[in-house]
Amino acid sequence: MVIYGIGGIGKSTLASQIAARVSRIQSARVVSRMTGEVSAAAFAAAEADFIICDNFDDNLAEDSGQWTVADSELAAMLAGWAGKLLITCRHPFTLPGADKLAFRPLGPLTRSGVAELTTSMPAIRLLD
């Protein structure tokens, strides 16, 4: 799954929560987290069945208004990955051969979402 949206919206926080929940529910699952630019070698060396690629934007290139994975070797590894994969980035991108990837936008909070977040974090009330 690819979660994308504007910076600061909570993609990395959501990915951390998902990783924590997976680790708690499926303790035998090995979770590996990579942040920023990822080489094909580093991805291949990850001994995990669930990989989180957080802030994946450093691995993307824009061509004619379309975002793609810049490193073709990494793109091939991602497309052929048989385990669980969660990617967070700012832009949706194309990955040929990876029809199984679902792209989900993470949008700004609604007014009710902000109210719920505020009540769950009492320290926010101290801010102007």
Cα(40)–Cα(54) distance, rounded to whole angstroms?
15
Provide the pairing of β-strand 60-63 with 103-105: unpaired
Cα(67)–Cα(83) distance, rounded to whole angstroms?
24
Cα(26)–Cα(91) distance, rounded to whole angstroms?
30
Give the C-alpha distances (Å, rounded to integers) separating 5 from 57, 63, 121: 11, 19, 23
Quote the pLDDT of residue 96.
Answer: 84
Quote the pLDDT of residue 113.
Answer: 72
pLDDT beneath 70: ranges in the chain? 117, 121, 124-125, 127-128
Query: Residue 51: beta bridge partners?
Result: 32, 85
**pLDDT, tens digit (0-9, with 9 covering 90-100), for 37-49:** 999 999 999 989 8
What is the reported pTM?
Answer: 0.82
